[in-house]
Amino acid sequence: MREYRERKEMSQEHLAEAAGLDRSFISLVERGIQSPNIVVMLKIATVLEVPAAELIARMESMIRDAG
């Protein structure tokens, strides 16, 4: 998620505000500490203008690699 956000030159705060989330939650997700539910993933994908399936697949890969 961080990669997509940085490509858009968007701060965590801006992403959080646009998606109706807390900035600290975005930070936790990007660090792999927190996992968003599907509704939250859809909101984030919409703000980042990325297909939700692509974002979910990327996060799934990140979780798999960490484990």
Quick: pLDDT tens for 7-66. Answer: 999 999 999 999 999 999 999 999 888 989 999 999 999 999 999 999 989 888 877 887
The pLDDT of residue 67 is above 80: no
Predicted TM-score of the model (pTM): 0.86
- Other Cβ atoms less than 10 A from the Cβ of 52: the count is 15
Span 2-66: which CATH code?
A: 1.10.260.40
CB 57 within 8 A of CB 65: no
Domain ranges for the chain: 2-66
* pLDDT of 66: 74
Q: How many CB atoms lie within 10 A of CB 36?
A: 20
- For residue 44, the model assigns a pLDDT of 96
